[in-house]
Amino acid sequence: MGDKPETLITDGVRLDGRKPKDMRALKIVAGFLENADGSCYLECGSTKVVAAVYGPRQVHPRHATLFDRALVRCKYDMAAFSTDGNRKRPGPDRRSREISKVSSEALSSVVFTEAYPRTAIDVFIEIIQADASTRVNGLTAASVALADAGIPMRDMLVALSFGKIYGTQDGKPAEVVAVDMDKPEDNWGLADVALAYMPNLERFVLCQMDGRLTHDEFRDGLEMIKKPAQELYKLQKEALRKKYKG
Ligand code: ADP
């Protein structure tokens, strides 16, 4: 990563030309892999993710079995080639373990786990190119992969980030709330929030924050993600329809 930029937003325009409420370009493909029960490929700008689902299937190791519901296990991994430079070593680290845990919990709350007692539903999230907001894009892709695998869910999961970035407005210093953090914004920004929520039930299942926001800024962010979240949900449905209708 280069040096800290003087500004991340100038008169309402971010470094990559987006306005505060703009997401990066999105692409979602359902059924991307042949060898999984369900899968999805997702691009959000240059963050690129593959999600794959196996199950419901037998639980290994056996002692992990839950007798009244399915065990939803998510494994998040950033490929060794997903970042520039060589900071990322292959294999699990503390960060990917944490993301796997919170993602497992978020996905468990959307799946009707009680329909498949004594089984495992395994979700793999592989970040093949990382340009920030990977955990949220991983969850959006995982929810398409679960639907593609035919696993009954209460709702889809739509996940996205927002944050606060510094810059200038009319030549004066300004702090601005914006959606979908990219790498410079995540690195140098003042705060970032990862959210996952069910678009129809309007229930949040993940909220993580780095940095500081006032109540008002947090509320502005929640308001700001509403429209892009609907757009993401629409793309998820289109991807699934495309796969099943051809
Ligand atoms: P998220 O990807 O969900 O925003 P973080 O805020 O932890 O999660 O990470 C922000 C970004 O920092 C990642 O998307 C990735 O681009 C970069 N990053 C994280 N960990 C590493 C690492 N070990 N090596 C190189 N880049 C990393």
Assess whether pLDDT exceeds 80 at residue 231. Answer: yes
pTM comes to 0.97
Write out pLDDT tens, residues 87-134.
Answer: 667 778 999 999 999 999 999 999 999 999 999 999 999 999 999 999
Task: Report the candidate in 170, 164, 160, 161 with the shortest Cα–Cα distance to residue 188.
Answer: 164
Pocket test for ligand 1, best of 83, 99, 183 (most atoms within 8 A of CB): 83
> Cα(152)–Cα(144) distance, rounded to whole angstroms?
12
| Contact of 185 with 178, CB cutoff 8 Å | yes
Atom 13 of ligand 1: nearest residue by CA position: 132
Express the helix, strand and coil content of the chain in percent, nearest 5 each. Answer: 30, 35, 35
For the chain, the straight-line distance linking the first and the last C-alpha, in angstroms and rounded, comes to 42
What spacing in Å lies between the alpha carbon of 132 and ligand 1's midpoint? Answer: 6
167 or 244, higher pLDDT? 167
Assess whether pLDDT exceeds 90 at residue 137. Answer: yes
Write out pLDDT tens, residues 164-219.
Answer: 999 999 999 999 999 999 999 999 999 999 999 999 999 999 999 999 999 999 99
> Cα(145)–Cα(39) distance, rounded to whole angstroms?
4
- Ligand 1 environment, Cβ below 6 A: 83, 87-88, 95, 130-135, 183, 186, 194
Residue 122's CB is within 10 A of a number of other CB atoms, namely: 20
Write out pLDDT tens, residues 72-98.
Answer: 999 999 999 999 876 667 778 999 999
Domain ranges in the chain are 9-245
> Cα(50)–Cα(224) distance, rounded to whole angstroms?
27
Q: What is the pLDDT of residue 224?
A: 97
Give the model's confidence band at 245: pLDDT under 50 very low, under 70 low, under 90 confident, else very high: confident
Cα separations (Å) of 148 from 86, 139, 162, 215?
34, 14, 27, 38
Task: Report the candidate in 199, 230, 241 with the shortest Cα–Cα distance to residue 31.
Answer: 241
Q: What is the pLDDT of residue 151?
A: 98
Q: What is the pLDDT of residue 1?
A: 64
Q: What is the pLDDT of residue 91?
A: 78
Write out pLDDT tens, residues 212-222.
Answer: 999 999 999 99
Assess whether pLDDT exceeds 80 at residue 2. Answer: no
- Look at the domain 9-245 and name its fold: Ribosomal Protein S5; domain 2 (3.30.230)
> pLDDT exceeding 90 applies to what percent of the chain?
93
Give the model's confidence band at 233: pLDDT under 50 very low, under 70 low, under 90 confident, else very high: very high
Cα separations (Å) of 130 from 29, 46, 84?
18, 7, 9
